[in-house]
Structure 1
Amino acid sequence: MKQFAIGLAVIGLMAGCASNTGSTAKAADSAMAASAVLAPKSGSTVQGSVKLVQQGDNRVAMAVDISGLPANGMFGFHVHEKGDCSSADGMSAGGHFNPTGQQHGNPVSGPHHAGDIPMLQSDANGKAVGSITLSGVTLTPGPTSLVGHALIVHAGKDDYVTQPTGNSGGRIACGVIVAN
Protein backbone atom coordinates (compact mmCIF):
# COMPACT_ATOMS: atom_id res chain seq x y z
CA MET A 1 0.00 0.00 0.00
CA LYS A 2 1.38 3.42 -0.92
CA GLN A 3 1.70 5.51 2.21
CA PHE A 4 2.10 9.26 2.58
CA ALA A 5 4.33 10.50 5.37
CA ILE A 6 5.37 13.84 6.72
CA GLY A 7 8.86 13.82 5.30
CA LEU A 8 12.26 15.06 6.29
CA ALA A 9 12.30 18.39 4.47
CA VAL A 10 10.28 21.43 5.51
CA ILE A 11 8.01 22.33 2.62
CA GLY A 12 8.06 25.95 3.67
CA LEU A 13 4.86 26.69 5.56
CA MET A 14 6.45 29.12 7.99
CA ALA A 15 9.03 30.46 5.52
CA GLY A 16 6.24 31.17 3.04
CA CYS A 17 4.25 33.12 5.61
CA ALA A 18 7.34 35.14 6.58
CA SER A 19 8.08 36.16 3.00
CA ASN A 20 4.65 37.63 2.20
CA THR A 21 4.43 41.37 1.53
CA GLY A 22 1.71 43.97 1.17
CA SER A 23 -1.94 42.96 1.55
CA THR A 24 -1.02 39.27 1.41
CA ALA A 25 1.10 39.72 4.57
CA LYS A 26 -1.85 41.34 6.35
CA ALA A 27 -4.04 38.35 5.48
CA ALA A 28 -1.37 35.91 6.72
CA ASP A 29 -0.90 37.90 9.94
CA SER A 30 -4.63 37.75 10.70
CA ALA A 31 -4.94 33.98 10.02
CA MET A 32 -5.96 31.88 12.98
CA ALA A 33 -2.93 30.10 14.45
CA ALA A 34 -2.36 27.46 17.10
CA SER A 35 0.47 25.32 18.42
CA ALA A 36 1.25 22.25 20.50
CA VAL A 37 4.31 21.34 22.53
CA LEU A 38 4.82 17.57 22.53
CA ALA A 39 6.20 15.97 25.69
CA PRO A 40 7.44 12.38 26.18
CA LYS A 41 5.02 9.65 27.25
CA SER A 42 5.38 5.95 28.06
CA GLY A 43 9.07 6.32 28.98
CA SER A 44 10.10 7.73 25.58
CA THR A 45 12.35 10.70 24.84
CA VAL A 46 10.13 12.01 22.03
CA GLN A 47 9.44 15.73 22.14
CA GLY A 48 8.79 18.57 19.76
CA SER A 49 6.51 21.27 18.51
CA VAL A 50 3.73 21.64 15.98
CA LYS A 51 2.58 24.97 14.55
CA LEU A 52 -0.84 25.17 12.91
CA VAL A 53 -2.29 27.87 10.65
CA GLN A 54 -5.85 28.11 9.29
CA GLN A 55 -5.90 28.15 5.47
CA GLY A 56 -9.35 28.81 4.10
CA ASP A 57 -12.60 27.50 5.55
CA ASN A 58 -11.75 23.81 6.07
CA ARG A 59 -7.96 23.47 5.86
CA VAL A 60 -5.19 23.65 8.43
CA ALA A 61 -1.47 23.69 7.62
CA MET A 62 0.81 21.98 10.16
CA ALA A 63 4.58 22.48 10.55
CA VAL A 64 6.13 19.64 12.58
CA ASP A 65 9.50 19.50 14.35
CA ILE A 66 9.86 16.35 16.48
CA SER A 67 12.97 14.66 17.90
CA GLY A 68 13.81 11.60 19.99
CA LEU A 69 12.13 9.11 17.65
CA PRO A 70 13.78 5.81 16.75
CA ALA A 71 15.90 6.33 13.62
CA ASN A 72 14.50 5.75 10.12
CA GLY A 73 11.01 4.78 11.23
CA MET A 74 7.39 5.60 10.56
CA PHE A 75 5.00 6.53 13.34
CA GLY A 76 1.25 6.99 13.65
CA PHE A 77 0.29 10.61 14.28
CA HIS A 78 -3.24 11.63 15.27
CA VAL A 79 -5.40 14.30 16.83
CA HIS A 80 -7.21 12.77 19.81
CA GLU A 81 -10.59 13.69 21.23
CA LYS A 82 -9.53 15.12 24.60
CA GLY A 83 -7.08 17.88 25.34
CA ASP A 84 -5.59 15.94 28.23
CA CYS A 85 -1.99 14.70 28.32
CA SER A 86 -1.89 14.17 32.10
CA SER A 87 -1.47 10.39 32.16
CA ALA A 88 2.00 8.83 31.89
CA ASP A 89 0.91 6.71 28.91
CA GLY A 90 -1.09 9.39 27.05
CA MET A 91 -4.34 7.45 27.38
CA SER A 92 -5.99 10.47 29.04
CA ALA A 93 -6.24 11.97 25.50
CA GLY A 94 -8.99 9.46 24.63
CA GLY A 95 -9.59 8.07 21.15
CA HIS A 96 -9.08 9.68 17.76
CA PHE A 97 -10.86 12.98 17.13
CA ASN A 98 -13.82 11.95 14.98
CA PRO A 99 -16.63 14.56 15.00
CA THR A 100 -18.12 13.33 11.70
CA GLY A 101 -18.32 9.63 12.62
CA GLN A 102 -16.00 8.29 9.89
CA GLN A 103 -14.01 5.06 9.86
CA HIS A 104 -10.27 5.30 10.56
CA GLY A 105 -8.37 5.56 7.29
CA ASN A 106 -5.67 7.10 5.17
CA PRO A 107 -5.99 10.90 5.39
CA VAL A 108 -4.86 11.43 1.80
CA SER A 109 -7.37 9.06 0.21
CA GLY A 110 -10.84 7.98 1.18
CA PRO A 111 -12.88 8.32 4.36
CA HIS A 112 -10.98 8.95 7.60
CA HIS A 113 -11.30 10.46 11.07
CA ALA A 114 -10.80 14.22 11.25
CA GLY A 115 -7.90 13.34 13.56
CA ASP A 116 -6.10 11.05 11.09
CA ILE A 117 -2.82 12.66 10.00
CA PRO A 118 -0.19 11.26 7.62
CA MET A 119 2.50 9.31 9.47
CA LEU A 120 5.68 10.86 10.76
CA GLN A 121 8.88 9.59 9.17
CA SER A 122 12.10 9.96 11.13
CA ASP A 123 15.56 10.44 9.69
CA ALA A 124 18.80 8.73 10.77
CA ASN A 125 18.97 11.09 13.78
CA GLY A 126 15.42 10.35 14.97
CA LYS A 127 13.97 13.68 13.77
CA ALA A 128 10.75 14.24 11.85
CA VAL A 129 10.50 17.71 10.33
CA GLY A 130 7.99 18.71 7.70
CA SER A 131 4.62 20.17 6.89
CA ILE A 132 1.25 19.00 5.70
CA THR A 133 -2.16 20.52 5.00
CA LEU A 134 -5.17 18.79 6.54
CA SER A 135 -8.64 19.08 4.99
CA GLY A 136 -11.99 19.03 6.74
CA VAL A 137 -10.74 20.65 9.95
CA THR A 138 -10.38 24.17 11.32
CA LEU A 139 -8.84 26.18 14.13
CA THR A 140 -11.92 28.38 14.46
CA PRO A 141 -14.63 27.42 16.95
CA GLY A 142 -16.94 24.64 15.81
CA PRO A 143 -17.32 20.86 15.73
CA THR A 144 -14.26 20.26 13.53
CA SER A 145 -11.90 22.62 15.37
CA LEU A 146 -8.57 21.08 16.39
CA VAL A 147 -8.04 23.61 19.19
CA GLY A 148 -8.31 22.01 22.62
CA HIS A 149 -7.54 18.49 21.38
CA ALA A 150 -4.36 16.49 21.91
CA LEU A 151 -1.79 15.51 19.29
CA ILE A 152 -0.37 12.02 19.85
CA VAL A 153 2.73 10.38 18.36
CA HIS A 154 2.45 6.58 18.40
CA ALA A 155 5.23 3.99 18.75
CA GLY A 156 4.53 2.23 15.44
CA LYS A 157 3.22 2.56 11.90
CA ASP A 158 -0.44 3.24 11.19
CA ASP A 159 -1.86 0.50 8.95
CA TYR A 160 -4.83 2.78 8.03
CA VAL A 161 -7.07 -0.31 8.15
CA THR A 162 -7.46 -1.55 11.74
CA GLN A 163 -10.49 0.07 13.41
CA PRO A 164 -10.64 2.40 15.16
CA THR A 165 -6.93 3.17 15.68
CA GLY A 166 -4.76 1.89 12.84
CA ASN A 167 -2.86 -0.47 15.16
CA SER A 168 -0.10 2.12 15.64
CA GLY A 169 0.95 1.09 19.12
CA GLY A 170 1.53 2.95 22.36
CA ARG A 171 1.49 6.69 22.80
CA ILE A 172 5.04 8.06 23.00
CA ALA A 173 4.40 11.83 22.93
CA CYS A 174 1.44 14.10 23.64
CA GLY A 175 0.69 17.81 23.38
CA VAL A 176 -2.49 19.88 23.55
CA ILE A 177 -3.32 22.20 20.64
CA VAL A 178 -3.80 25.75 21.95
CA ALA A 179 -4.81 28.88 20.04
CA ASN A 180 -2.08 31.52 19.71
Structure 2
Amino acid sequence: MKSHALLTAATLALAAPALAQKTTPSAVREKTVEAAKKDEKTAAPQETKAGDTAKASLKDAKGQPVGDVTFEQTPHGVLIKGTLSNIPAGTHAIHIHEAGKCDAPEFKTAGGHFNPSKKTHGMLSPGGKHEGDLPNLNVAQDGKVQFEFFANGGLTVASMMDTDGASVVVHAKADDYKTDPAGDAGGRIACGVVSK
Protein backbone atom coordinates (compact mmCIF):
# COMPACT_ATOMS: atom_id res chain seq x y z
CA MET A 1 0.00 0.00 0.00
CA LYS A 2 2.84 2.33 0.92
CA SER A 3 4.68 1.58 -2.35
CA HIS A 4 1.43 2.08 -4.32
CA ALA A 5 0.98 5.55 -2.76
CA LEU A 6 4.60 6.42 -3.50
CA LEU A 7 4.22 5.26 -7.11
CA THR A 8 1.06 7.36 -7.54
CA ALA A 9 2.76 10.40 -6.03
CA ALA A 10 5.80 9.96 -8.31
CA THR A 11 3.58 9.58 -11.39
CA LEU A 12 1.65 12.74 -10.51
CA ALA A 13 4.88 14.63 -9.85
CA LEU A 14 6.21 13.68 -13.30
CA ALA A 15 2.89 14.39 -15.05
CA ALA A 16 2.20 17.67 -13.27
CA PRO A 17 4.35 19.87 -15.57
CA ALA A 18 2.71 18.41 -18.67
CA LEU A 19 -0.77 18.88 -17.21
CA ALA A 20 0.08 22.38 -16.02
CA GLN A 21 1.41 23.32 -19.46
CA LYS A 22 -1.99 22.71 -20.99
CA THR A 23 -3.77 25.03 -18.59
CA THR A 24 -1.25 27.79 -17.87
CA PRO A 25 -1.96 31.37 -18.96
CA SER A 26 0.85 31.17 -21.56
CA ALA A 27 -0.87 28.22 -23.24
CA VAL A 28 -4.14 30.13 -23.21
CA ARG A 29 -2.30 33.17 -24.61
CA GLU A 30 -0.83 31.08 -27.46
CA LYS A 31 -4.28 29.78 -28.38
CA THR A 32 -5.66 33.34 -28.27
CA VAL A 33 -2.85 34.61 -30.51
CA GLU A 34 -3.46 31.76 -32.98
CA ALA A 35 -7.20 32.56 -33.03
CA ALA A 36 -6.48 36.27 -33.57
CA LYS A 37 -4.18 35.45 -36.51
CA LYS A 38 -6.88 33.25 -38.02
CA ASP A 39 -9.48 36.04 -37.59
CA GLU A 40 -7.05 38.54 -39.11
CA LYS A 41 -6.76 36.43 -42.27
CA THR A 42 -10.54 36.12 -42.65
CA ALA A 43 -11.32 39.76 -41.74
CA ALA A 44 -11.87 42.39 -44.44
CA PRO A 45 -8.68 44.06 -45.63
CA GLN A 46 -7.72 47.29 -43.94
CA GLU A 47 -9.34 50.23 -45.71
CA THR A 48 -6.66 52.89 -45.42
CA LYS A 49 -3.26 52.22 -46.90
CA ALA A 50 -0.50 54.85 -47.04
CA GLY A 51 0.57 55.44 -50.61
CA ASP A 52 -2.90 54.97 -52.14
CA THR A 53 -3.54 57.62 -54.80
CA ALA A 54 -6.45 58.92 -56.84
CA LYS A 55 -7.02 61.71 -59.35
CA ALA A 56 -9.84 63.89 -60.68
CA SER A 57 -9.69 65.68 -64.04
CA LEU A 58 -12.08 68.62 -63.87
CA LYS A 59 -14.11 70.11 -66.71
CA ASP A 60 -16.27 73.23 -66.83
CA ALA A 61 -19.98 73.41 -67.76
CA LYS A 62 -19.04 73.44 -71.48
CA GLY A 63 -16.98 70.27 -71.14
CA GLN A 64 -13.63 72.07 -71.41
CA PRO A 65 -10.76 70.75 -69.26
CA VAL A 66 -9.79 73.09 -66.41
CA GLY A 67 -7.19 71.02 -64.55
CA ASP A 68 -6.44 68.13 -62.24
CA VAL A 69 -6.63 67.34 -58.54
CA THR A 70 -4.60 64.50 -57.01
CA PHE A 71 -5.05 62.66 -53.72
CA GLU A 72 -2.35 60.79 -51.84
CA GLN A 73 -3.02 58.79 -48.69
CA THR A 74 -0.49 59.37 -45.91
CA PRO A 75 -0.39 57.78 -42.44
CA HIS A 76 -2.01 60.96 -41.07
CA GLY A 77 -4.56 61.97 -43.70
CA VAL A 78 -4.87 62.82 -47.38
CA LEU A 79 -2.57 65.20 -49.25
CA ILE A 80 -4.61 67.00 -51.92
CA LYS A 81 -2.86 68.91 -54.71
CA GLY A 82 -4.29 70.68 -57.70
CA THR A 83 -3.62 72.96 -60.64
CA LEU A 84 -6.60 74.66 -62.30
CA SER A 85 -6.95 77.23 -65.07
CA ASN A 86 -9.78 79.08 -66.85
CA ILE A 87 -11.58 79.60 -63.53
CA PRO A 88 -13.08 83.08 -62.93
CA ALA A 89 -10.81 85.27 -60.79
CA GLY A 90 -11.77 85.50 -57.13
CA THR A 91 -12.47 83.20 -54.20
CA HIS A 92 -14.17 79.88 -54.90
CA ALA A 93 -15.27 76.95 -52.76
CA ILE A 94 -13.93 73.51 -53.64
CA HIS A 95 -15.46 70.39 -52.12
CA ILE A 96 -15.42 66.65 -52.48
CA HIS A 97 -18.94 65.49 -53.35
CA GLU A 98 -20.60 62.18 -52.56
CA ALA A 99 -21.15 60.72 -56.04
CA GLY A 100 -18.71 60.03 -58.83
CA LYS A 101 -20.84 61.60 -61.56
CA CYS A 102 -20.38 64.97 -63.26
CA ASP A 103 -23.20 65.68 -65.72
CA ALA A 104 -22.87 69.21 -67.13
CA PRO A 105 -23.92 71.94 -67.07
CA GLU A 106 -25.00 72.09 -63.40
CA PHE A 107 -23.18 68.98 -62.04
CA LYS A 108 -26.08 68.17 -59.69
CA THR A 109 -25.42 64.47 -60.29
CA ALA A 110 -22.37 64.83 -58.01
CA GLY A 111 -24.83 64.94 -55.08
CA GLY A 112 -24.13 66.68 -51.80
CA HIS A 113 -20.84 66.95 -49.98
CA PHE A 114 -18.96 63.78 -49.11
CA ASN A 115 -20.20 63.30 -45.55
CA PRO A 116 -20.26 59.67 -44.32
CA SER A 117 -20.25 60.78 -40.66
CA LYS A 118 -23.45 62.87 -41.21
CA LYS A 119 -22.10 66.12 -39.72
CA THR A 120 -23.23 69.65 -40.56
CA HIS A 121 -21.29 71.71 -43.07
CA GLY A 122 -18.40 73.95 -42.24
CA MET A 123 -15.10 74.23 -40.45
CA LEU A 124 -16.63 76.98 -38.28
CA SER A 125 -19.76 74.98 -37.46
CA PRO A 126 -19.94 73.40 -33.98
CA GLY A 127 -21.54 70.32 -35.58
CA GLY A 128 -19.15 70.18 -38.54
CA LYS A 129 -17.30 69.51 -40.69
CA HIS A 130 -18.05 67.28 -43.68
CA GLU A 131 -15.17 65.04 -44.75
CA GLY A 132 -15.50 66.74 -48.16
CA ASP A 133 -15.14 70.30 -46.85
CA LEU A 134 -11.93 71.95 -48.07
CA PRO A 135 -10.43 75.47 -47.82
CA ASN A 136 -11.40 78.07 -50.43
CA LEU A 137 -9.37 78.68 -53.58
CA ASN A 138 -8.06 82.18 -54.37
CA VAL A 139 -7.90 82.34 -58.16
CA ALA A 140 -5.63 84.95 -59.72
CA GLN A 141 -6.68 87.40 -62.45
CA ASP A 142 -5.29 85.06 -65.11
CA GLY A 143 -7.79 82.37 -64.00
CA LYS A 144 -5.10 80.08 -62.64
CA VAL A 145 -4.64 78.58 -59.19
CA GLN A 146 -2.30 76.02 -57.72
CA PHE A 147 -3.09 74.58 -54.31
CA GLU A 148 -2.10 72.03 -51.72
CA PHE A 149 -4.32 70.98 -48.81
CA PHE A 150 -4.01 68.39 -46.08
CA ALA A 151 -7.27 66.68 -45.08
CA ASN A 152 -7.16 64.78 -41.79
CA GLY A 153 -10.79 64.85 -40.67
CA GLY A 154 -11.67 61.27 -41.57
CA LEU A 155 -11.23 61.55 -45.34
CA THR A 156 -9.32 58.67 -46.93
CA VAL A 157 -8.59 57.73 -50.53
CA ALA A 158 -10.29 54.37 -49.91
CA SER A 159 -13.46 56.01 -48.55
CA MET A 160 -13.83 58.08 -51.73
CA MET A 161 -13.70 54.88 -53.78
CA ASP A 162 -16.94 53.48 -52.31
CA THR A 163 -19.68 52.00 -54.52
CA ASP A 164 -20.88 55.31 -55.98
CA GLY A 165 -17.48 57.02 -55.96
CA ALA A 166 -16.84 60.71 -55.34
CA SER A 167 -16.15 63.87 -57.30
CA VAL A 168 -14.42 67.23 -56.89
CA VAL A 169 -16.56 70.32 -57.46
CA VAL A 170 -15.53 73.98 -57.77
CA HIS A 171 -18.28 76.47 -56.87
CA ALA A 172 -19.08 79.94 -58.19
CA LYS A 173 -18.61 81.66 -54.82
CA ALA A 174 -16.60 81.32 -51.62
CA ASP A 175 -17.53 78.88 -48.86
CA ASP A 176 -18.49 80.78 -45.69
CA TYR A 177 -17.42 77.67 -43.68
CA LYS A 178 -20.64 77.58 -41.63
CA THR A 179 -23.89 77.60 -43.63
CA ASP A 180 -25.39 74.12 -43.96
CA PRO A 181 -25.42 72.26 -46.31
CA ALA A 182 -22.86 73.84 -48.69
CA GLY A 183 -21.45 77.05 -47.21
CA ASP A 184 -23.59 79.32 -49.41
CA ALA A 185 -21.04 78.68 -52.17
CA GLY A 186 -23.36 79.15 -55.13
CA GLY A 187 -23.55 77.13 -58.34
CA ARG A 188 -21.16 74.43 -59.50
CA ILE A 189 -18.80 75.63 -62.21
CA ALA A 190 -16.42 72.68 -62.61
CA CYS A 191 -16.47 69.01 -61.73
CA GLY A 192 -14.26 65.91 -61.96
CA VAL A 193 -14.81 62.28 -61.00
CA VAL A 194 -12.29 60.82 -58.54
CA SER A 195 -10.69 57.65 -59.93
CA LYS A 196 -7.62 55.47 -59.33
Q: TM-score when scaled to structure 1?
A: 0.73
Instruction: Give 1:91-170 correspondences, 5 Å limit.
Output: 91-106=108-123, 111-135=128-152, 136-140=154-158, 145-147=159-161, 148-170=165-187
Whether 2:88 is the aligned partner of 1:70: answer yes
- Partners of 2:55 and 2:166 in 1: CA distance: 11
* Structure 1 portions without partners, runs of 5+: 1-29
TM superposition shift of 1:128: 1.1
CA contact (8 A) 1:36 1:177 kept: yes
The equivalent residue for 2:71 is: 52
SS state at 1:133 partner: strand
Q: Deviations over 1:96-146 (max 9, x none)?
A: 111001110128x98300010111111121111021110121112xxxx12
Letter in 2 for 1:168: A
**Separation in 1 of the partners of 2:184 and 2:114?**
16
1:66 Cα deviation after fit = 0.6
In structure 1, distance between residues paired with 2:138 and 2:123: 15
Change in CA separation of 1:164 and 1:93 when aligned onto 2, cut-off 3 Å: same
Q: Using structure 2 for the length normalisation, give the TM-score.
A: 0.67
- What amino acid is the match of 2:183? G
Q: Who is 2:195 aligned against?
A: 178
Bigger RCO (CA 8 Å, 6+ sep): 1
Give 3-state SS (helix, strand or coil) of 2:100's partner: coil
AA at the equivalent of 1:49: D
Preserved CA contact (<8 Å) 1:46 1:172: no
Which blocks of at least 5 consecutive residues in structure 2 are unaligned? 1-49
Aligned residues: 143
Distance 2:195 2:188 in 1: 20
Paired-residue identity, %: 38
